Amino acid sequence: MGDSFGPVRNEADEDGVGMADGVGSGATAPRKEPIRVLVVDDHALFRRGLEIVLAQEEDIQVVGEAGDGAEAVDKAADLLPDIVLMDVRMPRRGGIEACTSIKEVAPSAKIIMLTISDEEADLYDAIKAGATGYLLKEISTDEVATAIRAVADGQSQISPSMASKLLTEFKSMIQRTDERRLVPAPRLTDRELEVLKLVATGMNNRDIAKELFISENTVKNHVRNILEKLQLHSRMEAVVYAMREKILEIR
């Protein structure tokens, strides 16, 4: 089992994201109860190897295993583990899809993705689904246990190469947000502003049509155009957006 993992670089980024290098280079206080771990991977030999490695740790107890995401959800509900160590891509149900369900049936469980996938999309989706850690299978065997302890103590653990991608994406998101702030708010026509103001008062399309002496279909078209211009999905979102951006002020 020891040869199935590779070393992970020891580094810390300046923005304070927890790395899986020294995934835990600092010592943690001894626990009264062992950390209960559920191992999820579609390769039986890999699961067995992890169990052998983790069995050597006095403060970690493997309480169960599963071969796919669907089985993992059932096992998590029954066993209520502290940590779920789970692969990303598995048959029947993948690890990312299983994340949300596991958090529902075992809210206190923390999920660490242990995978060969270095795809940025998998990393982002795993984090959005509730994963606390994302480790590549190149991590060394002793670091698996250290990562489990760190996550159990409330830290987030991400392999250095993946953390770098995550920070790059964060910077891009900030830049895109700043660029959007520089773009003027979409310009609504005078008639669209009239319709939006009446929508904000709670009037339905029929009442708006009577108020403005236009057809109900014309009102529907105006509302549709307003939503398209503002890139929103509902009348309520349009009103909130307009008030926030000071396109419309209701006295």
Residue 182 domain flag: no
Q: Look at the alpha carbons of 215, 220, 221, 225 in this order and tell me if their dihedral is positive or negative.
A: positive
- 21 with 131, same domain: the answer is yes
Domain C-terminal end among 173, 203, 230: 173
pLDDT in the model for residue 118: 83
Residue 22 domain flag: yes
Residue 250 domain flag: no
Structure tokens at 179: 């660029």
Structure tokens at 183: 């773009």
Provide the residue range defining the domain that includes 132: 2-173
Domain C-terminal end among 173, 207, 231: 173
User: Alpha-carbon distance 158 to 9, whole Å?
Assistant: 12
Is residue 173 within a helix (H) or strand (E), and if so which, with residue range?
helix 160-182
Structure tokens at 37: 């771990």
Number of domains composing the chain? 2
In tens, the pLDDT along 151-203 reads: 999 888 887 777 766 666 666 655 655 555 544 556 788 899 889 888 877 68
pLDDT in the model for residue 174: 57
User: Alpha-carbon distance 34 to 169, whole Å?
Assistant: 36
- 55 with 150, same domain: the answer is yes
pLDDT in the model for residue 245: 67
Q: How much is the mean pLDDT over the chain?
A: 79
